[in-house]
Structure formats: C-alpha cells, structure tokens
C-alpha cells in the first residue's frame, strides 16, 4: 500500500470518527429545542420500525418547543407513544393534526450529567482517532520493513500522521467546548 493511500484512508476514517462524534452530540438534549433530539426515534409505522424523520416534518418554532407534523395523520398515536417510551423524558401533546413537544429547562444537576456524557463521548472519539493513527503507523513501519521506503521517509510520514491526528483531536475538542457552553447556558 503506497504512503499516499495510507494517508487518504486514515484521514477518511478520522474524519468519519469526528463526524460521528458531532452527530452524537447533536442528539444530546440541552434544554433547547432541536429536531435532532427526536429525528432518529424509532416509530412503529404499519408494522415496521422507522425513524421519525421519515414519516414527519420536525421543526422548532421556538427554543422551547418541537413541532412534529406527520404526513399520515394515522401515525400520530404511534409517534406520541414513541416519544413517551424514549428516555428523553418529554411529554408530547397531541392536538389531532400535530404533536407539540415542550422542552423543559434543565436542572443544574442534569446539566452536569450531560457535560460528563459529552466528555465521555469526546474521549471515545479521541480513542478512535488514536487507534486510526496507530494503524497508520503500523502500515508505515511495515512498508519500511518491506524496503519500500527509507527510515527517514518513514519518520517524516510519522510526523505528518501526528499532525493529522492532532488536527482531528483539536476538532473533537472544539465540538466538545461548544456543546459544554451550550449545555451550561441557562
């Protein structure tokens, strides 16, 4: 495997790890209404479990309310049931055409729990990026052993791998800081 390919594959995996972490952060409740909170909720729809975003329009008309408008009115009950059974602690209000979901403000204790969860997710993402780095370094050493590159070339490549790793870990830290600030904002 040529060096360039090692870098392309490694960077692609690092980017996907960071994107996954960012998506996980968006699903975390912050006391502010965001459609990402419920988009992936599984709803029983004609005998099949489907994500809510596939059967309804989800909007946030104000920072404390979600508005869910199903395309098929017969699914209102199933959507309401899915929200109640989720671990989000939300109480939907069904008015026959749309479902309004008030987002209650978070307590100080709950905010700290959410920050801990965010930090745990960030550490998992950092570990994923470091594992990718380790894999890339192993491949570079293998190339050197097979005499496809010199020791100096390997060392330069290892420095580039470290710079790449540092860049993606910095992105993870930026996302974490933003989310912590958002959670702790009253």
153-166 pLDDT per residue, tens: 889 999 999 999 99
Alpha helices, H only, the chain: 3-26, 76-85, 108-145, 151-184
What confidence tier does 15 reach under pLDDT thresholds 50, 70, 90? very high
**Cα separation of 175 and 168, whole Å?**
11
**Cα separation of 106 and 183, whole Å?**
9
CB 166: neighbour CB atoms within 10 A?
12
33 versus 115: the higher-pLDDT residue is 115
Domain parsing of the chain, residue ranges: 3-26+107-184, 35-102
Contact 35, 41 (CB under 8 A): no
- Report the predicted TM-score, pTM, of the whole model to 2 decimal places: 0.72
Q: 18-40, pLDDT tens digit by residue?
A: 999 998 888 776 777 788 888 88
Alpha helices, H only, 146-186: 151-184
Contact 141, 154 (CB under 8 A): yes
Per CATH, which fold does 35-102 belong to? Answer: Gyrase A; domain 2 (3.30.1360)
**Cα separation of 100 and 81, whole Å?**
13
pLDDT of residue 1: 65
What is the CB-side half-sphere exposure of residue 140 using CA atoms within 13 A? 25
Mean pLDDT, all residues of the chain: 88
Residue 184 has pLDDT above 70, yes or no: yes
Q: How far are the Cα atoms of 35, 87, 88, 138, 157 from residue 148, in angstroms, in the given order?
A: 51, 53, 54, 14, 13
pLDDT of residue 161: 94
Pick the CATH number of 3-26+107-184 from 1.10.132.20, 1.10.3720.10, 3.20.20.30, 3.30.420.40: 1.10.132.20
């Amino acid at each position: 495997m040529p060096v360039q390919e090692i870098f392309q594959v490694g960077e692609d995996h690092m980017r996907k790890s960071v994107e996954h972490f960012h998506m996980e952060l968006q699903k975390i409740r912050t006391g502010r209404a965001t459609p990402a909170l419920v988009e992936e909720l599984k709803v029983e729809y004609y005998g099949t479990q489907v994500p809510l975003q596939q059967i309804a329009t989800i909007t946030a008309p104000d920072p404390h309310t979600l508005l869910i408008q199903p395309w098929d009115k017969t699914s209102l009950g199933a959507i309401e049931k899915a929200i109640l059974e989720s671990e989000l602690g939300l109480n939907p209000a069904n008015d026959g055409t749309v479902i309004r979901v008030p987002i209650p403000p978070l307590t100080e204790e709950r905010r700290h729990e959410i920050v801990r969860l965010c930090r745990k997710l960030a550490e998992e993402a950092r570990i994923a990026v470091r594992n990718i780095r380790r894999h890339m370094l192993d491949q570079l050493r293998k190339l050197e052993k097979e005499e496809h590159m010199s020791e100096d070339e390997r060392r330069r490549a290892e420095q580039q791998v470290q710079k790449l790793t540092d860049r993606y870990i910095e992105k993870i830290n930026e996302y974490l800081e933003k989310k912590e600030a958002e959670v702790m904002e009253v």
